[in-house]
Structure 1
Amino acid sequence: MSLDPQGMAPEDLSHAGSVTDKAIEYMIEQGIAPISIASALLGGALGLMARTMEDKAIARVLRSALMSVESGELQEMRQQGAAQPPAS
């Protein structure tokens, strides 16, 4: 697993993201509430980080996520999602 040119993301991040997106899509099709899906994914991610990363690295990941929320990046994603027609 190698890092991108900026040394930030592993090369398999896109693959992991695609698999996660498919799992989310499946759970939505099964009628699982979005908050339950998000809570389960977050809990799983935190558990994985706890088993594989140092606390300082986990804190950096969480700070980055918080900065995305505070900068409005997630709001932009929400607006882009609303502008896209539903998949059939």
Structure 2
Amino acid sequence: MQLDPQGVAPDDLSHAGSVVDKAIEYMLEQNIAPISAASALLGGALGLLARTMDDRSIAGVLRNALASVESGELREMRDHLPGGDAHP
């Protein structure tokens, strides 16, 4: 696994993201509620982290995710999607 030039993301992150996007698309086509799909993906992600990282590292990943929410980064992403401004 190679890191990007800034040493942050593995080089296969884009591929993994594409696979997850397809899984989300499939779940929504199967009429799985978005909250159910998101909860299943989050549970799976936490399970994978638990098998591959120590608790302190997992907490760091979760702190980074929370910082993205608190900074408005996810809101900006939502606002750029069709119908994304439905929930301020």
TM-score, normalising length: structure 1: 0.91
Counterpart-to-counterpart distance in 2, 1:28 and 1:83: 16
Indicate the RMSD between aligned Cα atoms, in angstroms: 1.3
One-letter amino acid of the structure 2 residue matched with residue 10 of structure 1: P
Is 2:20 the counterpart of 1:20? yes
| Unaligned 5+ runs, structure 2 | none
Structure 1 residue ranges (4+ consecutive) displaced by more than 4 angstroms after TM superposition = none
What residue is the counterpart of 1:45 in the other structure?
45
What residue is the counterpart of 1:11 in the other structure?
11
| Unaligned 5+ runs, structure 1 | none
TM-score, normalising length: structure 2: 0.91
Counterpart mapping for 1:1-88 below 5 A: 1-82=1-82
Instruction: Give % identity.
Output: 75
Aligned length: 84
User: 1:82: Cα distance to partner?
Assistant: 2.7
Counterpart-to-counterpart distance in 2, 1:9 and 1:48: 17
